[in-house]
Amino acid sequence: MTDIVLATLNARYQHASLGLRYLLANMAELRPRTQLLEFIWDQRPTEVAERLLALEPRIIGLGVYIWNAGETLALVQVLKTVAPEVVVVLGGPEVSHEQAAQPLVALADHVIAGQGDLAFAALCRSLLAGERPAEKVITPEPPPLDQIALPYDEYTDEDIARRLIYVEASRGCPFKCEFCLSALDKTAWPFDLDQFLAAMARLHARGVRHFKFVDRTFNLNVKASRRILQFFLDRLSDDLFLHFEVIPDHLPDGLKELLAQFPPGTLQLEVGIQSFNPQVQQLISRRQDNAATEENLRWLREASHAHLHADLIIGLPGETLDSFAAGFNRLWALRPHEIQVGLLKRLRGAPIARHTEAFALRFDPQPPYTLLANRHLDFATMQRLTRFARYWDMIANSGRFAHALPLLLEGDAFGRFLRLADWLFATTGQTHRIALPRLFALLHQALGEVFGVAEETVMIALARDCAVFGAKGCPDFLHAHLQQVQQAARRETGTAPARQARHLGGGD
């Protein structure tokens, strides 16, 4: 008997909703009457509704996020058209703030704003008992973490075999960076570490080897961080992979000691830089020691095997094109393995909205509410920077062009790549679906015609990039040079280290 269905529209199949599994784990006596279903955001709403309603639920709880808000609206419209008697309850960050302006909220029966770990089960008890709460929007106090059942046993064998496993050793964040919803938190709260590590041991025993920690500040409590790192060092294996988000300017020796012990391909650190501009940092209430950040990134690059994924944000209040360029070049000089160039978004409830008038912030009214223009960056410039970010991800972050990239970025890395981005768009009119052989050909053309690099230098660099991943995707014009590179490699006694390919994307 399924009275309650928990569901969400994920960005990809491999993503598994940690939030819904918290709700499921805390249903108590209602757990046998509750099922969890997950879908992909681009599935037809009628098909999703059909599968949900086939279970004949009385209550459907939907997780709503910035990436699935529009699609969830379409789903709820179908549900309310064909089964208006089914109670629809919404939760998640997208509906936890500014509810009055949202058509999705208007259609739903109830909304749980904030942490619903215990509040959703309490609401279901009332609804199933025929006691309809008077209020539509329910705003519970954050529950004490020691009262919450951990969700990790709710990961199924299929989840473990095919999906990312998200975990968290703490909740909240003590920092107040205004672009982030975590700025609304009062502090960070740790889960009981013994219970958490026991749950991790069970996951490991079931075969989990990739753990993606969603803690905003993994290295805030160094003592706890050390215990967690030691837990995984004690279980090192060739297929172990860990992802942590770390504070860039807080890396004491006790943490470095353990980080340095992880072998290549095991550890990814997401390092939020966002901006190197002190005036911008002050405007958005971000505390960051830039000198310590640089020192720590340099140490991680030189003394550890961690794959470094660093974040920058385009469009923060007070950030000009020149200051962003200077910050980008400063970060590039430290050589993180990836630089995620993100565009400022107006998350509902985030304090960044207070700067809207002073800095003429103009956001897309449709999710994900990306900045379109501001006082320092007009719409045309933001479009150029949007393309910059897309091409950077395609070329630099893909890891496929490690030999060609230095030829592109010599000197002013930002200025040269922006020039390439402008040329690529003028030449192709595309920012997506550029096949790999064509991308090789475009880079060959750009390096020669736009940047004046010698033909033989270009051919050798691109052939070396082909060789790293094999001939697949290598265009015909490179085959002769590819053979030369492969023959030279065979003559060498050693082999070049392969790129750390086992890493997880940061946002989704």
Q: In 3D, which of 95, 102, 52 has the Cα closest to residue 75? A: 52
Same domain, 58 and 85: yes
Domain of 251: which CATH number?
3.80.30.20
- The DSSP element (H or E) to which 136 belongs, if any, is none
Distance CA 440, CA 248 (A): 34
Lowest-confidence pick of 174-188, 346-360, 373-387: 174-188
Residue 169 above 80 pLDDT?
Answer: yes
Whether the CB-CB separation of 273 and 248 falls below 8 Å is answered with yes
Mean pLDDT, residues 274-285 taken together: 97
Structure tokens given for 167: 């975990």
Q: Which domain holds residue 438?
A: 398-508
Main-chain phi, psi angles of 469, to 5 degrees: -110, 5
Contacts of the segment 323-329: beta carbons below 8 A, 24+ positions apart: 323/275, 323/277, 323/280, 324/275, 324/277, 324/414, 325/412, 325/414, 325/415, 325/418, 326/276, 326/277, 327/273, 327/275, 327/276, 327/277, 328/413, 328/414, 329/412, 329/413, 329/414
Measured from the Cβ of residue 452, the count of other Cβ atoms closer than 10 Å reads: 7
pLDDT tens digits, residue range 6-44?
A: 999 999 999 999 999 999 999 999 999 999 999 999 999
Same domain, 49 and 117: yes
Same domain, 137 and 170: no
Q: What is the pLDDT of residue 494?
A: 52
Last residue in a domain, options 145, 172, 195: 145
Average pLDDT, the chain: 94
Domain of 57: which CATH number?
3.40.50.280
155 lies in a domain? Answer: no
Same domain, 206 and 74: no
Banded pLDDT at 483 (limits 50, 70, 90) = confident
387 lies in a domain? Answer: no
Same domain, 210 and 359: yes
Residue 59 above 90 pLDDT?
Answer: yes
Same domain, 318 and 406: no
- Identity of residue 306: A
Same domain, 101 and 177: no
Residue 409 above 70 pLDDT?
Answer: yes
What domain count does the chain have? 3
Same domain, 329 and 445: no
**Does this model's pTM top 0.85?**
yes
Q: What is the pLDDT of residue 497?
A: 43
290 lies in a domain? Answer: yes
pLDDT tens digits, residue range 221-242?
A: 999 999 999 999 999 999 999 9
Q: SS3 sequence, 262-331?
A: CCCCCEEEEEEEECCCHHHHHHCCCCCCHHHHHHHHHHHHHHCCCEEEEEEEECCCCCCHHHHHHHHHHH
10 lies in a domain? Answer: yes
Q: What is the pLDDT of residue 500?
A: 47
